[in-house]
A and B are shown apart, each in its own frame.
Chain A
Amino acid sequence: MPSFVYPFVAWLAETPFSKLMIGNKYWWAFLMDMHFIGLAMLMGGVGVFDLRILGLAKALPIAPLQRLLPWAIAGFGINLVTGGLALIGMPVAYAYDYAFWFKMLAIFLAGVNVAAFYLTGTVGRVERTGAGQDAPPLAKFIAASSLFLWFAVIVLGRYIALFENSIPMGSN
């Protein structure tokens, strides 16, 4: 852990806003509740889109399925906010947890995957994949990576509680 992390999270943990986040167990329950709602929105939108690219329900043209993506993005947005507030609420607990950092890595890689989808022009070829047609192989690879990475995010997220204090404190 870089040497600036511990003083920063220790400072953050003492701020009034941080204490506000963990002050009421029903507020925390609400943050976690919305985090799971966001998860369902994200996984539903991304999942249906990716599964079609992989060949499930081939009678569907792919282009219209993109209308689900704003809902997936909204779900991600909800999770970014609720996750951010949770992090502010318990910064020391998360900062010293391997599962949390690997989860952030997985989210970053999922973002890189999305960028690849657009920057390689795969999005265009996928949009032109009509009813009964196969998506291009690169699209299938990106879709499979997407599903794998988001599943990894879920798995790592659930293990955060188990890996609390897994990173020794005071290490630089």
Chain B
Amino acid sequence: MAVPEFFNTIEQSGLSTWLRESESIFSFYFILVCHTLGLALLVGVNSAVDLLLLGVASDIPLKPLKRFFPVMWLGFYVNAISGVFLVIAYPTKAFTNPVFYIKLTLIGLAVATLWAIQNRVFGDASLSEAAMVAKGRTMAKLSLALWFGAITAGRLLAYTYTWRLYDTLR
């Protein structure tokens, strides 16, 4: 496989090596912890908001749920940043695995759906509660399906990679 030497350059770097080989509890596993906490914030709260949009608590006003969006976006940024560190630690493992690209695509679509829900459902002050539900229903179902897929793809990364490091390619 023609894999860019660039991955080797990243893996040889001080940061990448430290993340993988340091005995500190603040290295690789700490990044994984942040990634899972971010997942809890983003996917957890997003799923709850999706369920509420789908009528799980039909006697609740939906507009105040707008206040949960900062929590979700915080989860997103925590995961974007921790994700970058994970890829710096294991670039070959990630970028030579097709499942990684599937994961990124599903996340992209799920986040785009979240953005659409925020703007089209919660961002339109003229909508009645019933109209919010009507507009948000399909997006909520899509959101749940996409996150289910993204989590699955993410978990599969640990079990589907072929090359762990650039060195193992040879």
Chain A residues near B (Cβ < 8 Å): 25-26, 28-29, 32-33, 36-37, 39-45, 47-48, 51, 56-61, 64-68, 71, 131, 150-151, 154-155, 157-159, 161-162
Contacts and interface: CB of A to CB of B under 8 A. Distances in A.
A47 B45 contact: yes
B64 interface: yes
Contacts of B47: 40-41, 44
B56 interface: yes
Contact of B68 (A51, A155, A158, A162): A51
B56 A158 contact: no
**Which of B44, B46, B67, B68 has the most C-beta atoms of chain A within 10 angstroms of its own C-beta?**
B44
A29 B45 contact: no
18 contacts: A33-B156, A37-B152, A39-B39, A40-B147, A42-B44, A43-B40, A44-B43, A44-B44, A44-B51, A61-B60, A64-B58, A66-B57, A71-B48, A71-B56, A131-B61, A158-B29, A158-B32, A159-B29
Nearest to A29: B159
Contacts of A60: 60-61, 64-65
Interface of B: 25, 29, 32-33, 36-37, 39-41, 43-49, 51-52, 56-61, 63-68, 71, 147-148, 151-152, 154-156, 158-160
A64 B151 contact: no
Contact of A64 (B32, B46, B59, B152): B59
Given A37-B148, A71-B51, A151-B37, A64 B60 contact: yes
Contacts of A59: 61, 63-64
B155 A47 contact: no
